[in-house]
Structure 1
Amino acid sequence: MNTKRAPKVRFKGFTDAWELRKFESIAARASSISADPTLPRVEYEDIISGIGLLNKDVKLKGISKPGIVFNQGDILYGKLRPYLHNWFLPSFSGLAVGDFWVLQPKDADSSFLFRLIQGQQFDDVANQSIGTKMPRADWNLVSKTLFFVPTSIDEQALIGRYFRSIDNLITLHQRKLDKMKELKKAFLNLIFSQKLRFRGFTESWELRKLKDITYPAGEKNRENLPLDSYSITNEHGFIPQDERFENGGTMRETDKKMYYIVSPHSFAYNPARINIGSIGYQNTDKNVIVSSLYEVFKTSDDVDDRLLWYWFKSSYFQKLIEQFQEGGVRLYFYYDKLCMGTLSLPSFEEQHKIGKYLDTYDNLKTLRQEKINQLTKLKTTFLKNMFL
């Protein structure tokens, strides 16, 4: 076995090959237990999985509950497998409560070790878990696994700082995106309550029944036309089945005669998932098909679809769903229930201006999300190329 190698990507000034070392030679497991109520506690639900950040201030807990003592520079690693990636590099001392390993660096930089456990090799080994009901990473296996590690602590620290800078940028953009989402909610409430209006528009809004401004628009695909199959998600609206499911999902080989043809400029939604926002607007230049479980409709000519789209994303529509949904264990909101609702609409000109403004705001959100995606992809690529 080649015990010395160099990574594909590294910083200038470092040329020494990395050495193959057992994990137990660079990290020890802390085992000291305490229930000191003056120490802050970190539990599984406190860590944002896959990000390594806390979702709240744990320093204020002050509750007596036993946990593993950790100090600044130690690493908390959630050993439950395979569905959680709960890791944390604390800047304070406290107690790790739950299924954590508290890893203490040995002849290694803590920030480098923190990135090593996020690499694919470590994840592959950790997922070879023990137990069936609640699988956990196997320390006996992980501790004996060989990893390539820089011989220079300076190079280790530089790698750790580099990834921390990427994480900081991702966090910054994510916080800005979250603020934009909250601001949009506030905009929607102000606009649809008519507390916020564009200059030059003073006419009262007209109360309209949804049954008067929409009509069913789904046609059965009786000729079994080979149209692209789509699904609807709460995050992205209409998306191709090929993008959502591996190999196109079950609809690829299914007889499509019973599915609905959805023409451009149509709305569609899943009546069992509309309460979480699974509604979409078909704005491609072609016909597509969706499951016959969906409700499909269009709007009358005096309604600007963009404005209605944003109304569907507002708290006003959520209240309508809560008022008229029906069922037992699973609640449904069919098109006939939608038709029982009302909303206030301004003139078509004002509708268009509002929709256009909100589109601009959504475009800014999209750009922010794309930046986060780019940084995340960059981080993943460097993790793959820096860690052998």
Structure 2
Amino acid sequence: MSEQTNLVPKRRFKEFQNTDAWEQRKLGDLLENAYQGINTAGDKVEYSESGVKILQSKHITSGNITFDDARYLDRDRYSEYLPKYVPNVDDILFANIGTIGPSAVVTEVKEFLIAWNILKMTPKKESNAKFIQLQLQRLNIKRYFESVTTGNATKFVNKDEMLRTQIIVPEKKEQSKIGEFFANLDNLITLHQRKLEKAKALKLAYLSEMFPAEGERVPKRRFAGFTQAWEQRKLGEMMEVTSVKRIHQSDWTDEGVRFLRARDIVCASKGEEPTDYLYISQEKYDEYSRISGKVKVGDLLVTGVGTIGVPLLVTQEEPLYFKDGNIIWFKNEKQLDGNFFYYSFIGESIQKYIRDVAGIGTVGTYTIDSGKKTPIQIPSYEEQEKIGNFFKQLDHLITLHQRKLEKLQNIKKAYLNEMFV
């Protein structure tokens, strides 16, 4: 009785709530056939510049197939590989060599072949492809398959061992209902991923067009009414470039005034939260700030070690302290519009300068002296504000898309836990 109870998911569609428990089946019993992709070495496959695309495991993510950077097989040889290596609609593609685990269902008719590191599985009529793919997605592949090698050898999952894998399934109607539900959810996730990628690409394009290229004094794209050439200056001529009095590790606390390290700024640039927040006491902050000064709204903090040249614009009045030597402090004092200053720093011109001065050793550094010599091109303050606000709004849109995407991914994760056994 308890075993049967364990084979019922926490959440079920209403019409299946009083139906039979799910049952355990071998993956191979649910399939018509399964084929490994073309052995490019053994079959002596030669790639060409055009023809039929050959899909690699890297082109499969969980639920999606992309064809970016796919190699080609000469069309004259295409018929040699029919039908074994040619996927059809509802075939399941599983990456089982090298990168292990990503899987997807073929949802539309496209002319392509699969490479040696993909296993193609064709479900039987009584099985739903999307449901099986989702069950495979949920498995911890490395835990289930002993033939996943370790060390320097190529990791792989043996096809025969894969087909012996036990998965738990309901009857076909419930499989199809679940598969359709997650297919729609995956489509929604893909839609928001594309919106996010489009917004990010738009930002990169505008960064290259709304700031002058190297050797130029006028950007390709401007707001109406602005015609004057931009002025080139060095930041050290416009503002103080410095750091702070050193805080020792023994002074770190669990609460008080926020203490930033370079990696905290890198996290912020990615929209991530650091795993360990650090602080210093209010007393220590007051003592050291009397010597170094206080970080103000509009100032820019830039990483000088590790991932160098990553800026953080100070936008709030809350007291803040940081690790000396690891972070360069640009005391803006309203010399530049804060948002314009920030986006200038992530633009190619300043980033190229940072790369050039960082040195060729294993650990590049961006120093206070380099910070003072950093060149920047500036228009009128009014144009700075226009540009800064434009990119700030674009970043806000990117953040909205990112949050929506994360919310959908979390919803999918929760439903996968509740709607499967």
What TM-score range do you get, normalising by the shorter chain? Answer: 0.7 to 0.9
Q: Pairwise mapping of residues 61-80 of structure 1 onto structure 2 (< 5 A)?
A: 61-62=73-74, 69-72=85-88, 73-80=90-97
Query: Does structure 1 residue 182 correspond to structure 2 residue 194?
Result: no
Which shifted more, 343-352 or 222-231?
A: 222-231
Asked if the contact 1:19/1:150 (under 8 Å) is kept, the reply is yes
User: Paired residues, what number?
Assistant: 375
Distance 1:317 1:51 in 2: 39
Distance 2:295 2:147 in 1: 49
Distance 1:264 1:19 in 2: 63
Asked if the contact 2:35/2:85 (under 8 Å) is kept, the reply is yes
1:60, distance to aligned residue in structure 2 (A): 4.8
Question: What is the TM-score of this pair, normalised by structure 1?
Answer: 0.81
Which residue in the other structure is 2:104 paired with? Answer: 88
Q: Pairwise mapping of residues 316-355 of structure 1 onto structure 2 (< 5 A)?
A: 316-355=349-388
Call closer, same or farther: CA 1:171–1:62 in 2, change over 3 Å: farther
Which residue in the other structure is 1:130 paired with? Answer: 148
Asked if the contact 1:23/1:146 (under 8 Å) is kept, the reply is yes
1:229, distance to aligned residue in structure 2 (A): 4.3
Query: Does structure 1 residue 208 correspond to structure 2 residue 233?
Result: yes
Query: Does structure 1 residue 224 correspond to structure 2 residue 251?
Result: yes
Match of 1:162 among 165, 169, 181: 181
Letter aligned with residue 2 of structure 1: E
Asked if the contact 1:269/1:279 (under 8 Å) is kept, the reply is yes
Which residue in the other structure is 1:52 paired with? Answer: 64
Distance 1:97 1:183 in 2: 33
Asked if the contact 1:69/1:93 (under 8 Å) is kept, the reply is no
Match of 1:102 among 117, 120, 127: 120
Call closer, same or farther: CA 1:53–1:126 in 2, change over 3 Å: farther
5+ residue gaps, structure 2 = 213-218
Distance 2:157 2:15 in 1: 36
1:33, distance to aligned residue in structure 2 (A): 5.6
Say which SS state the counterpart of residue 207 (structure 1) adopts. strand
Say which SS state the counterpart of residue 211 (structure 1) adopts. helix
1:380, distance to aligned residue in structure 2 (A): 1.1
Say which SS state the counterpart of residue 319 (structure 2) adopts. coil
Residues 22-60 of structure 1: CA distance to partner in whole angstroms, max 9, x if unpaired? 33322453258675887642112333x445321427485
Query: Does structure 1 residue 26 correspond to structure 2 residue 53?
Result: no
Say which SS state the counterpart of residue 149 (structure 2) adopts. coil
Call closer, same or farther: CA 1:97–1:195 in 2, change over 3 Å: closer
Which residue in the other structure is 1:236 paired with? Answer: 268
Say which SS state the counterpart of residue 15 (structure 2) adopts. coil
Say which SS state the counterpart of residue 331 (structure 1) adopts. coil
Distance 2:184 2:69 in 1: 22
Asked if the contact 1:218/1:297 (under 8 Å) is kept, the reply is no
Letter aligned with residue 156 of structure 1: Q
1:382, distance to aligned residue in structure 2 (A): 1.2
Distance 1:59 1:221 in 2: 54
Call closer, same or farther: CA 1:61–1:136 in 2, change over 3 Å: same
Asked if the contact 2:23/2:168 (under 8 Å) is kept, the reply is yes
Distance 2:265 2:185 in 1: 29
Which shifted more, 184-193 or 277-286?
A: 277-286
Asked if the contact 2:192/2:401 (under 8 Å) is kept, the reply is yes
Distance 1:199 1:32 in 2: 56
1:309, distance to aligned residue in structure 2 (A): 0.4
5+ residue gaps, structure 1 = none
Asked if the contact 1:307/1:351 (under 8 Å) is kept, the reply is yes
1:385, distance to aligned residue in structure 2 (A): 1.1
1:307, distance to aligned residue in structure 2 (A): 0.5
Asked if the contact 2:337/2:381 (under 8 Å) is kept, the reply is yes
Call closer, same or farther: CA 1:229–1:172 in 2, change over 3 Å: same
Identity %: 25
Aligned-pair RMSD on alpha carbons? Answer: 3.7
Asked if the contact 2:9/2:418 (under 8 Å) is kept, the reply is yes
Q: Pairwise mapping of residues 354-369 of structure 1 onto structure 2 (< 5 A)?
A: 354-369=387-402
Distance 2:96 2:306 in 1: 33
Residues 244-291 of structure 1: CA distance to partner in whole angstroms, max 9, x if unpaired? 33xx39x79xxx99x99983544333334556x633234342314347
Distance 1:375 1:84 in 2: 24
Letter aligned with residue 95 of structure 2: G
Which residue in the other structure is 1:380 paired with? Answer: 413
Letter aligned with residue 62 of structure 1: D
Question: What is the TM-score of this pair, normalised by structure 2?
Answer: 0.75
Call closer, same or farther: CA 1:302–1:341 in 2, change over 3 Å: same
Residues 190-248 of structure 1: CA distance to partner in whole angstroms, max 9, x if unpaired? 322234333444554332211122421333226825344443355633989xx433xx3
Call closer, same or farther: CA 1:225–1:264 in 2, change over 3 Å: farther
